[in-house]
Amino acid sequence: MRPFNDSVIYFAVVDRFHNGNAGNDKGFSQASFDASRSDWFKYWGGDLSGVIQKLDYLKELGCSAVWLTPLFDQADGLVDVEGRGMAAYHGYWAKDFKRLDEHLAGSPGDVRVFASNDTVVDRLVKSMHDRELRLVLDIVCNHSSPEQRVDSGGRPTKGELYDDGKLLTSYEDDKLGWYHRNGGVCDWGNKGQVETSELCGLADFNESHIGYRTYIKDALRLWLNKGVDGFRVDTVKHMPLWFWQEFVSDMVFHRPDLYVFGEWFQGGCYDEQSVQFANKSGMGMLDFALQRGLEDCLARGAEQGFGLVDKVFDKDPLFDDCRHLVTFLDNHDMPRFMSAGASPARVDMGLALILTCRGTPCIYYGTEQYLHNDTNGGADPYNRPMMENWDTGTPAFKLVKKLAAVRRENKAVQSGSHRTKVLSPDVYAYTRVYRDNCCLAAFNRGAETTMDLENIELPDGVYKDVLSDRAVSVKAGRISGLKLERDSSFVLSYSAPAREKTGLEISFVLNGYNTAYGERVKVTGNCPELGNWDLAKSFPLEYINENMWLGHLPIKESAGKAIAYKFVVEREKDGVLYENRPAHVRLMPAQGSLQQQHKWS
């Protein structure tokens, strides 16, 4: 799986982003659309034509991937929710994974998205790829739809599932056995119940049935064939780990460069089960722990301040690859950062931090415009307002644009180690370091302060703050008299000269060897790039944290050939230590990128 850690992801709830085609607003149920946009539980008109019209805006913002809420055909009409009607505007009540929902289409024929190569989805993919934007599709494998009021015969319907328009099964008439029938979750501490019972009354798929697994994987392979570049996976904690291991293996086999990340709600470094999921499922994970630390520090003004943020980074070694974490301030399931109490300046600080820290940053639609609605504390659905402004001059927009460029160019930001330099409740400074690349980020939420920074890994010279163009000098790893105003961010970036590109690059990741001071980890092997078993010419890896060593190696002579290699530790006093196992043997592709992840043996 290829990480997206050089990217900035933009996440849009399609119905609330931009209405590019008024002809599809009512869909098949006029009652489910509200032209006044006052009923927050109904469709408001956003569609894929609207997304296409705003791609240049997203490109200028600096985003290189766009995550869209599910595009699949949704349950029609309204569902009773606490005495009021709610439509499937959000996209998480699919009834046909092989059709496009009519509210998102450009023409009636677009709903049969796989019957033609000239649908609005094809135009979206082409328009995105022409702009070097990657499409991340939100998918739901756990459930279909809740019980709706009545069908045409006067009976309630629940969980109807179709195969390109052909009814396969439903919860009420489940001859195929594709649904669990265990009622709702009562004990959230019971893992088996969480995985096999219903969430919020949604018909829960029975993943143990091979017929269902074949259907969902076949459908999603069709979307990959359309040009989808990544999956964001909903509700992963509600399905067993073995399902995700099988699912990711099949999807990545079909599309080797596919990026997949999941939503384990409120998961992260403090949730042992979610850490296990991140390490064993084959996919990345949304980093709720960092979001909560940032929210407590910057929006709620918690006394511990940046200590809450640094504590999350201290736990990065729990993950086999912390680059696969997806960082964010806002999303569609919780109040926005400003609804939680953040000022615009604090939003800017939060954005600057996720754009310079490990993982892949994700910007929720409108955050760059300070979009929020504080009704009911900003909770769902008030965290999903209609996008109204497209101002490229807001401080947040300009900040994202500048730091997205740093992220694309600087290997330290993409892959480097995190090294805390200053930490207090109000002031936080760290460097990201990879090989000769370095990025320094500093933040102040308190009163104006002046400080000296020591042991900064930047080469000596004069640098300009990426965010303000203010010049500072670095001499012998020291910055003297750095002034930080209240609620401000400061970023310096140094990228080593780019090396010659080759047709193939392999990334080695090693977990499970906790080195001591003075030890170095290398890869040696039977090919020229790995020194032909000559340790003096072997490939050194970079220390990321106590559980992760990393190195990106261009492969020129050995592309398309089989290679053998081993990891070795060089010790200053005790010689070398090889892995206690036979050599790893891999067939190299002819071109592209490949990641090899290993545990020390």
- Looking at the annotation, which residues are catalytic? 234, 263
β-strands 562-571, 520-525: how paired? antiparallel
Residue 518 falls in which region: left (phi positive, over 0), alpha (psi -120 to 50) or beta:
left
Helix crossing, 210-225 with 241-254: angle to 10°? Answer: 40
How many angstroms separate the CA atoms of 81 and 502, rounded?
A: 56
Starting from the edge strand earliest in sequence, which strands make up the sheet with 437-444, in order?
A: 417-423, 427-434, 437-444, 488-494
Within the chain, how many helices (H) and strands (E) appear? 12, 31
Residue 201 falls in which region: left (phi positive, over 0), alpha (psi -120 to 50) or beta:
left
Please answer whether residues 233 and 139 qualify as being in contact, where contact means their C-beta atoms are separated by less than 8 angstroms. Answer: yes
Q: Collapse the DSSP code of 98 into the 3-class scheme (helix H, G, I; strand E, B; otherwise coil) and give the result.
A: strand
Q: How many CA atoms lie within 13 A of 4 on its CB side?
A: 33
Please answer whether residues 152 and 158 qualify as being in contact, where contact means their C-beta atoms are separated by less than 8 angstroms. Answer: no
Beta strands in 76-155 (DSSP E): 79-81, 84-86, 94-100, 134-139
Alpha helices per DSSP H over 340-429: 344-356, 395-409, 411-415
The DSSP line for 203-222 is PBB-TTSHHHHHHHHHHHHH
How many angstroms separate the CA atoms of 468 and 452, rounded?
A: 19
Give me the phi and psi of 466, to 5 degrees please. -60, -30
Residue with tokens 């080759």: 502
Indicate the DSSP class of residue 241: H
Beta strands in 351-444 (DSSP E): 360-364, 417-423, 427-434, 437-444
The reply to whether omega before 381 is within 30° of 0 (cis) is yes
**Spacing of C-alpha 412 from chain mean position:** 19
How many angstroms separate the CA atoms of 476 and 274, rounded?
A: 42
Please answer whether residues 510 and 545 qualify as being in contact, where contact means their C-beta atoms are separated by less than 8 angstroms. Answer: no
Residue with tokens 């702009």: 131
Please answer whether residues 346 and 486 qualify as being in contact, where contact means their C-beta atoms are separated by less than 8 angstroms. Answer: no
How many angstroms separate the CA atoms of 510 and 589, rounded?
A: 21
How many angstroms separate the CA atoms of 415 and 407, rounded?
A: 10
CA distance between the termini of the chain: 23
Buried b (16+ CB within 10 A) or exposed e, 433-451: bbeebbbbbbbbbeeebeb
Please answer whether residues 267 and 277 qualify as being in contact, where contact means their C-beta atoms are separated by less than 8 angstroms. Answer: yes
Tokens of 362: 């994700």
The letter for the amino acid at 268 is G
Alpha helices per DSSP H over 131-205: 191-196
Tokens of 501: 């590109």
